[in-house]
Structure 1
């Protein structure tokens, strides 16, 4: 296994071309997709677009990408965590998508904190951001518990908006200096 990161309970590794079924299973749960697309991602889309984009990002943005997450104790696939490039130099977007069986166990916070630490400590980046729908209170709580701070509410146009879209999207962030100050406490 090509391990990208380990925490107390998680192992993150690069996805491979043989991992399509893991993503199909994850994205087939309507509750997992509730605040993302509101519906399962078609298998063809995962095989032809999603997975190839994940794999290509490893080469185009070394050190960044989307990584398969496993529970260290059982080896069970939990979902993914990602550090993705943004249009702003030195800034990455942190995110995750977990199977419903992994919800409420602290994995999202544990993985997100570890990625933030890697972004600043190992990768030397300047800023980490995250966003979600304003109504996604559980993800917003993960962002705060991970050390990210509320930045703004913003609105995007969607041709087929999800319920709650009218309340906007929220952005959370942390910069390197804030992260360093918290680490010194």
Structure 2
């Protein structure tokens, strides 16, 4: 299901065929520098995330992380979208992209497009939880209009909490 499109991107629901992309986004050390947890080591782990996390969120809440497909090459190059963070009782805009697409404005383009759809799900504000030192993600958050709210702990790590009223 397509959520929205930009000139370069399609934001859509993840599908079973996307497990290789999910695996890449969770196994490349460079991508995971500021992501808590261990890198994936098998496609079966990506299949479990697709079934038990992504699909479950779509079913329970009507929303979840959305695949970001690059129109020029038809590849899923990352994700961008909402997820409910129980520990904060808020919805987070999360995003992650393959390194070869960094520095091209993809994060801002997808982030703005995603935030525009949040109201469709009765989401009126969003946070971004960004591990300390992740200047790239902080830059994206600022460029899409999020403001640094405070510092907190998430999954045992210090994070900067960015916030935006939509």
**Partner of residue 42, structure 1:** 41
Q: Give ranges in structure 1 of 5+ residues lacking alignment.
A: 159-164, 177-185
Q: Which runs of 4+ in 1 moved over 6 A?
A: none
Measure the CA separation in 1 of the matches of 2:113 and 2:154: 29
Give the structure, 1 or 2, with the largest relative contact order (CA under 8 Å, sep 6 or more). Answer: 2
Shift of 1:151: 0.2
**Partner of residue 73, structure 2:** 74
TM norm structure 1: 0.80
* Aligned partner (choices 153, 160, 165) of residue 170 of structure 1: 160
**Partner of residue 26, structure 1:** 25
Shift of 1:141: 0.7
Shift of 1:58: 1.0
SS at match of 2:58: helix
Measure the CA separation in 2 of the matches of 1:26 and 1:133: 17
Measure the CA separation in 2 of the matches of 1:35 and 1:175: 25
- Max radius of gyration: which structure? 1
**Partner of residue 100, structure 1:** 99
Shift of 1:86: 3.4
Q: Deviations over 1:40-85 (max 9, x none)?
A: 223233222x1111012111111x1111111122212211112112
**Partner of residue 142, structure 1:** 140
Measure the CA separation in 1 of the matches of 2:149 and 2:28: 30
Shift of 1:22: 1.6
Matched, 1:54 2:54: yes
TM norm structure 2: 0.88
SS at match of 1:140: helix
- Alignment length, in residue pairs? 163
Q: Give ranges in structure 2 of 5+ residues lacking alignment.
A: none
How large is the RMSD of aligned CA atoms in angstroms? Answer: 1.9
SS at match of 1:29: coil
SS at match of 1:65: coil
